[in-house]
Each structure stands twice: as C-alpha cells, then as structure tokens.
Chain A
Amino acid sequence: MFQTIVPLFVDALANAALIFFVAFGLTLVFSVLRILNVAHGSFYSIGAYVSASIGLWIVSAGLNPWLTFPALLVSAALVAALFGPLIERTLVQWTYGRGEAVQILMTFGLFLILEDLQRLVFGVSSYYEDTPVALLGSIEIGGIIYLNYQLLLIALAVVALVAMRVFIGHTRMGRLLAVVVADREISEALGIDTRRMFTIAFTLGIFLAALGGALATPTAGVAPGLGADTMVLAFAVAAIGGLGQVEGAALAAVIVAAARVLAIYLFPALDAVAPYLVMLIVLLVRPYGLFGKPAIRRI
C-alpha cells in the first residue's frame, strides 16, 4: 500500500502545487483589491501556451535545452506585463466599489474574451513540451521512482510561499501592501498610492497564475478548456483556505491533494469531485474558510 500511496500523493501534491500558484494569485488579488477575478484561470492557460510556444521554439532552433527553464519564468513575466496593468487600469478599476455582482460579471466577460483570443492565437490543438522533465530525470527513493521535476514543483511552491512572507515583512513595498490590505481608508489617509498598489498586486496575481501554467506545460501540456477547469479548482483551493489567506491556500492545496489520493484509492469515480466535496464540507463548518475571518456589520 505504501508503495502505491506515496507516489500517488507526490503526484497529487505536484498537481496541487500548480493549482496553489493560481489560488495564491487569486487570493492575493482578492485581499488587496477585494475582487474575485473569474478570468484568473485564463492566465494559467495563457501562461501555459506562451511557455510551451517558447519552449518548442528553443528546441526547434537548436538552442541549449537548459534555456527552457528560464523560459518558464520569462513566459509568466511576459504574460503578467502584457495583461496585468492593462486590464487592471481599464476594466477592473471601473468596478471598484460597485458590488460583487458587477465584478463577477465584468471578469466573466473578460474570461469569455480571453478564451476566444487563445483559440484564435494558439488554435485548438494541444501543446506539449517536456524538455525540462527529461533534463531533470528521476530519482529512486526507497524503491520508488519520482520525477525530479515534480519534486521541483513542490519545492517551488514552498519557495513562493516563503518569498511572499519575506516580501511582505521585509521590503518597503511589501509593508505598504500589507497596510492596504489591513485598512484601505487608513492607507489612503497615510498618503499611500493605493491605485499603484492595486496595479502591482493585480499584476503579481496574474504572474503567479501564468507561472503555474508555465510550470504545468512540461508535465501536463495545455489544451483548450484548461483555463475554465483551472479556474474552479483554484476557486475551491482559495475558498477552503479562506479568501485572502495565502497560508490557508497552501494548506488547502495539500488537503485537496490528500483528498484526491484518498478518492482514487476508495472511489475512483470521485477523483474529480474530491476538491469540491472538501470545499463544501469545509465551508459548511467554517463559512469563511480555514483561515478566514468574517466581517461584522455595525448598525
């Protein structure tokens, strides 16, 4: 049993790490801008398409295959730089203070547009580029073979989490961001340029989603519909952790991974249902997620 459950769990954890990047971005944008971006998952698939395209180009041009690693990061940065400021300054900014129905609809409209743009630019066939996986090879621990790339994914998720803590706690920009999250009115009274903070946070959120997508291409590839599927999974993970709670999202990603392994073991048909069942159960017990706090209305 150990021989099967551990590799299954590592596999599930590597997948969860990818979703964690998306949920991380979603929850970051929510905590700073108080907006649930329904189009967030689309940046995962766009990141995946861009990194797959660049990776395929590097290979076909005969360049050093190790260049595919920095290409993953560059793709995500490219997507974030291209879409982040543009979308935040135009569509998203307009919805501030207009209620969540408008915000959800506006970003759903954006989602529809991005879905078709991807189809128009990248076509409908799937992309697959696994040079990084092949380069890293595999490792045998206790008679079980693991893909090094998957272990790298899990490590990267942990690094991202730690990096965010360091950023918030030890840089000027990070501290300002924390003030904006804690109290928007006070931060404006203090003279913090909240509009700039919103743009930065939104762009950073997109970068994280695109990074998740870029990192996913070597193991899973990318095909139409990926954005929509990822969106709901990231929703589930962010909601389980508590919207706005990065550590919560990390824990939620691990729980979801464990639930999937359990499901594969006990009821294989329920594999895809597991994340949502976990979400329902958690939210029934703690409506604001594992780490979330409710806001009380004063009258």
Chain B
Amino acid sequence: MRKPIPLLVAALALLLLVPVAFPHLKFVITLAVAKGFAALGVALLLRGGLISLGHAMYFAIGAYATAFLGSKAGVSDLVLLLVASTAVAALAGLVFGAFLVRYRAIFFAMLNLAVSMVIFALTSKLYGITGGTDGLRVAVPTVLGWAPGKAAFDGFLFYLCILLMVVLGWLVHRYLQSPLGHALSAIHTNEVRLEYLGVSAWQTLLTSYTISAALAGLGGALAAMSIGHVLPEFAFWTESGHLVLTAVLGGIGGVAGAFIGSVFLEILHTVAVGVAAEAWNLIIGLALICVIFFLPRGIYGLIEARRGSTKETGL
C-alpha cells in the first residue's frame, strides 16, 4: 500500500513553524498532540474491532501521576515524570486489560466505561491524594537539570511533543506492520480463524490494550504539563467518547489519522470558541455524523484515497 508520505512530511514542516508563525497556536497544538496520543491508543483498539468508552481514564491516570509525583513526591524532572507516568498508565492497562480484553463489542465498551467511572468517581472523592474536584496543580518541571521558566518550557514542550509524535508514531506503525499487529486486525475480521492458527486472541489484545493505555497515559502526562492543572473531568466518559470521535474523525487506517483528527479538532475548537462557543458540541456532533455517513475512513482515508489505495480498514 502506498503511503502519503510527502503530504505528511509537509504537514509536519508546517507544524514546526507554528511557534514562529502563529505563537498563540502553540498551546493548542501541544494539547492536540497530547490528546492525539490517547486517540492513537483508541485507534489501535478499533483496528482490533474493539471500541473503548473508557480510555480517558488512562489519559487521566497519566495526568494525575505527573501531578501527584510532582506535587506530593517531589519528582521534578521531566524525563522521570514522563517515563513514570507512562509506566503507571501501562501497568493500569495491563491489570484492567487482563480481564477487559476477554469481552467483545458492547460488553467491552461498557466494561471500560464502568472502570473509567470508578476511576472518575475516585479521583473526585479521594481528596487527600487527588485534590478532589479541585484537582491538582502541576508545577513547571525541570529538564535534566535545566530549570526553564514557563514560557521557555512551553516552547520546549511543543517541540518535544512533535518529536515524540514522530518517533512513537513510527514505532506504532512498525508494530502494526509486524505479525502481532496483523494479528490484531485479524481479530476484528475473524477471531475464530486466528485461534485456529494457534494465536491467542487474548494475548494479542492485551498487548495492544497495554500499548494503548501507555500511549494515553503519555498523552495525559504531556497535557498535564502543558495545562498546568489536572481535574477529575479528564476521566469522565464523555472525554472517552471524544477520544473515539477523534480517532474516527482522523481515520484509523494509519497512525497519522489520530493526530490529524486531534489537530483538526483542536484548531476547529479554537476557531469555534470565538464564533459559536455554545454550539461547539453541536458542531462536532454533526461533523461526526457526517464523517460516519460520507467518510467512513476519516480524514486520513481522504488523503490516502487520493494516492490510489483502496484498502478498506475502516469500521
């Protein structure tokens, strides 16, 4: 299958110019990329045919891990915070996933929802650890001994997000091309056959579930540093719905889709806030329904289709 590589490189180059050309968009893009990681996690599971209505919990777990380690455990180094937060989210994904990936279809969606609502309710109630409904503040971290001011850190974080997006995006792409990645989409089309080939659907899905939780956790940690504050709402089920929406809007045919969807939505949001702030949900709700009707393979599918590929990997 041919890939729209030149277009993606051009889009990337454009992104790198954002802090210079549109400084006020820097924060928007940083947040979009952070959420893009979570959407990518959701997109992975969608390739396996599983729709999670609870993945915002891993985003929240990553964000809260960063906030908690920073404010209560005195960890201030960015690298340490990112690694630790991602690891915590991955561990949570491994533990919850071990029983969640036994389920399919609506049951998988609902059980993820249930777990995420437990996490949501706990984050709003356990005041001593999570700061309750007020959430936690996130201080500006240090970077391997360098202690930047807020503005300098924001600039650094922007480029770090882009770098991580490229590196991890490429790794996830490689994963999807590997036997295990193919097995994942094979679960979607024919789980019985996969089992009869001697492959454990449970192990295949648990691997992808853990990766997806880690990606969402990393996204949460990055978002926490960018926003400077974490709230229980990060884990609410509507946020999980938004992640699925982002993944589908961008298209699950390729790794780039999740980030395209996320950047597209965040920029649209920024524009819409000025014009029709009250109707934002209305706009994306309509957009989602239009995408389902007319663009089943998302925005990424649109670019890819121009390149002559006909492979159907959508829903």
| Chain A interfacial positions (CB closer than 8 Å to B) | 36, 38, 91, 94, 98-102, 104-106, 108-113, 115-117, 119-120, 228, 231-232, 235-236, 239, 243, 269-270, 272-273, 276-277, 279-280, 283-284, 287-288, 297, 299
Contacts and interface: CB of A to CB of B under 8 A. Distances in A.
Interface of B: 46, 49, 51, 53, 99, 102-103, 105-107, 109-111, 113-115, 117-118, 121-122, 124-126, 192, 236-238, 241, 244-245, 248, 278-282, 284-286, 288-289, 292-293, 315
B125 A100 contact: no
A216 B84 CA distance: 45
B105 A100 contact: yes
Contacts of B238: 111, 228
17 contacts: A36-B109, A100-B106, A101-B315, A106-B289, A111-B241, A112-B282, A117-B282, A120-B278, A228-B236, A228-B237, A231-B237, A235-B114, A236-B114, A236-B117, A276-B118, A283-B114, A287-B102
Q: Which of A112, A115, A116 has the most CB of B within 10 A?
A: A112
Q: Which of A109, A236, A287 has the most CB of B within 10 A?
A: A109
Give the 3 A-B CB pairs with smallest separation, nearest first. A112-B285, A113-B285, A109-B288
Contacts of A99: 315
A108 B46 contact: no
Contact of A108 (B110, B126, B236, B288): B288
B285 A280 contact: no
Nearest to A233: B117
Nearest to B125: A269
B92 to A, nearest CB: 14
A37 to B, nearest CB: 11
Nearest to A95: B292
A36 B105 CA distance: 11
A272 B279 CA distance: 30
Contacts of A108: 241, 244-245, 285, 288
Contact of A112 (B53, B99, B114, B281): B281
Contacts of A113: 281-282, 285-286, 289
B51 A112 contact: no
Main secondary structure of the interface of B (DSSP, over half): helix
Given A102-B292, A236-B114, A280-B118, A116 B106 contact: no
Contacts of B278: 116, 119-120
B292 A36 contact: no
Contacts of B114: 235-236, 239, 276, 279-280, 283
Contact of B106 (A120, A236, A243, A272): A243
B285 A110 contact: yes
A239 B241 CA distance: 19
A100 B51 contact: yes
A283 B111 contact: yes
A115 B281 contact: yes
B315 A299 contact: no
A111 B242 CA distance: 11
A8 to B, nearest CB: 19
Contacts, number: 124
Nearest to B110: A239
B106 A105 contact: no
Nearest to A112: B285
A104 B107 CA distance: 12
Given A104-B51, A105-B248, A106-B292, A276 B117 contact: yes
Contacts of B284: 112
A120 B285 CA distance: 15
Given A105-B292, A110-B285, A277 B118 contact: yes
Contacts of A288: 107
B253 to A, nearest CB: 14
Nearest to B296: A102
B277 to A, nearest CB: 10
Nearest to B283: A116
A161 to B, nearest CB: 23
Nearest to B118: A276
Given A100-B105, A102-B292, A239-B110, A109 B121 contact: no
Contacts of B292: 102, 105-106, 109
A112 B115 CA distance: 22
Given A99-B315, A105-B292, A110-B289, A276 B121 contact: yes
Contact of A120 (B107, B122, B279): B279
A105 B244 contact: yes
A56 B284 CA distance: 33
Given A38-B241, A116-B282, A228-B237, A272 B111 contact: no
Given A105-B51, A283-B111, 10 more contacts: A100-B109, A105-B288, A106-B289, A108-B245, A112-B281, A113-B281, A269-B126, A272-B124, A273-B121, A288-B107
Nearest to A274: B121
A235 B113 contact: yes
A273 B122 contact: yes
A213 B111 CA distance: 25
A67 B284 CA distance: 40
A215 B117 CA distance: 25
B313 to A, nearest CB: 13
Contacts of A276: 114-115, 117-118, 121
B273 to A, nearest CB: 14
Contacts of B53: 38, 104
Given A116-B279, A116-B282, A228-B238, A109 B107 contact: no
Given A276-B118, A283-B114, A116 B241 contact: no
B250 to A, nearest CB: 13
